[in-house]
Structure 1
Amino acid sequence: MIRKNALKYTSVEICAGAGGQAVGLHHAGFKHVALIEIDKDACQTLRSNTEGSPEWEGCKVIEADLKVFDSATLGLKPGTLDLLAGGVPCPPFSAAGKQLGRDDERDLFPTMLKLVDDLDPRAVMIENVRGLLDPKFVEYREDIIKQLESMGYEKCYWDILEAKDYGVPQLRPRAILVAMKREYARYFEHKKPAPSRQVSVGEALHDSMRARYDAAAGDPRSEEAFKKWYEKALRGVAPTVVGGSKKHGGADLGPTRAKRAWADLGVCGLGVANEPHETKDMERDLFAAAGPKLTVTQAALIQGFDEDWKFSGRKTAAYRQVGNAFPPPVAKAVGEQIYAAFEAAERQRQSAEAPLLTSCPA
């Protein structure tokens, strides 16, 4: 991704995970004040990629449980923050769970709304699973909007954005809420991308998969295996990459239906491969009858991460961070629309404050 905007507006992000939303908003022009996350491996990922980088100067990575987090520790005067963003936990609204909504102890929408009240940012962006927009949660959504309106915000939109429409080689619909203070909301334009050709798994992973097979060039099967994979991988985008829960076994590419979809793309979904420099079992990782397994780095490419964003922790922990991430290109697109609204409001303010030019009589 390429950042076109100056790093001009400030952001605080909760439930930052491995940084998918943070990366996207950074590329949209938001300068992060803090990234707040409870998982220690994800926090290390954030630190490893931001500390010492001039691009991320001033960004604090805070490992904390939001339910007991004191926003005063951020040192921000209410009303000075531009954007409060976050992907609050999705199990309360996920079709894969029980969809308990507000009755689920993992529901952090009330916590998010308290932070909005405390920090009084100019804009709010919340990401979640598409299930949140199901009819059964209409009253829940209406209650959230009423609370935001009582704090001076206007809903810009609450809609489902599909990752594949933003150049991400994956089916990943996400429910996105954007709300802004009323003086900025009037300038917000919600535009979805025009229909365009989607990026296939083959296109996204060509170089990295080519490098993996080249590393095994001593095996006479390498060239034919690569061609076989590539032909299948060009057929389309990937199913949703899932991170899974710490309560369940090792990493793989999802339930049975997802594994079948991966198989159609030439990828074995029964586990995650080691990175090329760590690979010891070529049969398992690269030459299985079902095709190659993906590495964590390749799964991150399917999510839309830049290749230089590295993930900390053991393989399973790193893969879960990737699978639970918000695709950076989608976050970037939403962030750019928020940024544009701020800029439009600023231009209007400057125009209104400009002195009137009067002509002097000759």
Structure 2
Amino acid sequence: MNSPGTQAHHLDGIRILDLFAGPGGLDVAAHFLGFKSLGIEWDRNACETRYAAGLPTIHADVSVMRETRFDEIPESVDVLAGGPPCQSFSVAGNGAGRRALDTVKKFIHRLVDGKDEAKIDEDLHALGDPRTALVLEPLRWLLKAIETEDRDPYKVIVLEQVPAVLPLWEVYAKLLRSGEGRLKGVKYEAEFWELKTEQFGVPQTRTRAVLVARRPGHGAIEPLETTHLPFDLHRGKRNAAQADMLPTDSVIPGTKQPWVSMAEALDAASRPKESPVDPTRLRTRGRTKFFVVSNYGSGGDPKNRGRRLSSEPAFTVTGKISRNKVYKSVADFEANRSDRFTIPESGVLQTFPHNFPWSGKDQAQQVGNAVPPRLGMHVLSRALRENAPSSDELAAASTWPAVPSATTDELRRLGCGDQGRCPPESHRVIGSRRKSAP
């Protein structure tokens, strides 16, 4: 990075370092909780979104930053966060990571035990999918901080991944509690959970494996308290022509809120003035009412496409969300007259603000790769403040503040520096769908 004056301005008071930051799910969550964050991201398209959103970013490879540019990370950073790429572990991927879980567990122990890292890297490469090794990067960043003079160990660690990685978070947690080997006696309180996003007000069903670790002195880490009811995935077959496509308004006093439906989320996002979310095309007689046919098979049958009503949460939002087909009626389905979710609508289903400035190319992939900010708010608030986000904070998270174009330009220069440090062919500016504020 260069331009020291610009760098100091944007990196002043940074507390959270977000590895594999993507378009900014955790950073958006941190912003609405009042914490400043810095993201490291390799993908230039995600970086363009981050610059447009005013999110401080280093456009670089996480491993390279750790190995050769660690000193560029502000000393004020005391929280390490991140969600390593999950494709090799996810159900949608080829499963290389799932098959290698036991092997990766051994790599974790080898790292902490101080075994030769060059040999570890060689063996990791032999696993076949290089992304599998990235799940070890947060541990390597922690060890780097512990072993670097004039650096303090991170006070808090927050990691998230697909559910298949939960066994690895269990190994992480046990080692962090022990303080053994290269941890040099540095111990953490550590807990890990499998969380369902719809139980935290996210209008989609998505399950994540989350680890939270914190230096001793603040008491045990309490589990996150869910705010909404779970969605019953085994509710039985639903008729696409079912009339009741809208959620009920009845809530029994003293119980959790119903899960948030697609219709409810999209309607709320369309209300602010000049919102890019406009589900008018999906309305019938003034009501947002549709059903979605998934791009993925169900029950192990690739031809059996799942269906969700607008009165239900969305399927897990992936990079293929634009392939899901949206129908207003059975007649449209039979005539093959389908619609698609727009990028702003897809972002809302992930709980990004309605006006979040998605930029660059592959925007659907950016949306699908992100951590839902609302879930991130609950996780970060528990980790950093030992409580849940307030209702005011959650309400404020529906709208993103305008970012001057000058700020976007400054952040782009900060992220790429002299452009020689960015990944090859990555510093070319790619147009945004939405213009930054003047």
What TM-score, normalized to structure 1?
0.68
Partners of 1:202 and 1:46 in 2: how far apart? 27
- Given the superposition, is the C-alpha separation of residues 293 and 122 from structure 1 closer, same or farther in structure 2, using an over 3 Å criterion? same
Q: What's 2:316 paired with?
A: 240
Partners of 1:177 and 1:157 in 2: how far apart? 6
Residue 118 (structure 1) aligned with residue 114 (structure 2) = no
Q: What's 1:127 paired with?
A: 160
Unaligned runs of 5+ in 2: 1-11, 105-126, 146-152, 228-255, 272-276, 293-307, 388-438
Letter matched to residue 156 of structure 1: A
Q: What's 1:331 paired with?
A: 376
Q: Deviations over 1:137-163 (max 9, x none)?
A: 4xx444423443323232432101111
CA shift for structure 1 position 76: 3.4
Residue 14 (structure 1) aligned with residue 75 (structure 2) = no
CA shift for structure 1 position 228: 4.6
1:294 to 313, 320, 341: 341
Q: What's 2:82 paired with?
A: 86
Partners of 2:288 and 2:209 in 1: how far apart? 37
Partners of 2:279 and 2:312 in 1: how far apart? 21
Q: Deviations over 1:224-256 (max 9, x none)?
A: 596553898542111101115xxxxx9423xxx
Residues 81 and 122, structure 1, Cα contact 8 Å, conserved in 2: no
2:258 to 197, 210, 232: 197
Partners of 2:365 and 2:195 in 1: how far apart? 22
2:130 to 89, 95, 105: 105
Q: What's 2:356 paired with?
A: 309
SS of 2:161's equivalent in the other structure is strand
CA shift for structure 1 position 298: 0.1
Residues 153 and 179, structure 1, Cα contact 8 Å, conserved in 2: no
Q: What's 2:42 paired with?
A: 38
Residue 145 (structure 1) aligned with residue 173 (structure 2) = yes
SS of 2:32's equivalent in the other structure is helix
CA shift for structure 1 position 73: 3.5
SS of 1:331's equivalent in the other structure is helix
- Given the superposition, is the C-alpha separation of residues 74 and 147 from structure 1 closer, same or farther in structure 2, using an over 3 Å criterion? farther
1:170 to 185, 204, 211: 204
Residues 11 and 31, structure 1, Cα contact 8 Å, conserved in 2: yes
Residues 198 and 204, structure 2, Cα contact 8 Å, conserved in 1: yes
Letter matched to residue 306 of structure 1: P
CA shift for structure 1 position 335: 0.9
Partners of 1:203 and 1:67 in 2: how far apart? 41
SS of 1:306's equivalent in the other structure is coil
Partners of 2:14 and 2:70 in 1: how far apart? 20
Residues 158 and 212, structure 2, Cα contact 8 Å, conserved in 1: yes
Q: What's 1:277 paired with?
A: none
SS of 2:208's equivalent in the other structure is strand
Greater percentage in helix: 1
Residues 113 and 148, structure 1, Cα contact 8 Å, conserved in 2: no
CA shift for structure 1 position 192: 2.0
Residues 303 and 327, structure 1, Cα contact 8 Å, conserved in 2: yes
Q: What's 1:49 paired with?
A: 53
Q: What's 1:349 paired with?
A: none
CA shift for structure 1 position 118: 2.3
Q: How does 1:17-28 map to 2 (within 5 A)?
A: 17-28=22-33
- Given the superposition, is the C-alpha separation of residues 328 and 213 from structure 1 closer, same or farther in structure 2, using an over 3 Å criterion? closer
Partners of 2:313 and 2:60 in 1: how far apart? 35
CA shift for structure 1 position 96: 2.4
Partners of 1:141 and 1:166 in 2: how far apart? 21
Determine what percentage of the aligned residue pairs are the same residue.
28
Unaligned runs of 5+ in 1: 1-6, 51-55, 245-249, 254-258, 269-283, 343-362
Residue 252 (structure 1) aligned with residue 323 (structure 2) = yes
Partners of 2:288 and 2:53 in 1: how far apart? 34
Partners of 2:220 and 2:169 in 1: how far apart? 23
Q: Deviations over 1:325-354 (max 9, x none)?
A: 110011001111122249xxxxxxxxxxxx
Q: Deviations over 1:240-288 (max 9, x none)?
A: 01115xxxxx9423xxxxx6xx66xx599xxxxxxxxxxxxxxx9xxx8
Residues 251 and 320, structure 1, Cα contact 8 Å, conserved in 2: no
Q: What's 1:65 paired with?
A: 61
CA shift for structure 1 position 20: 0.9
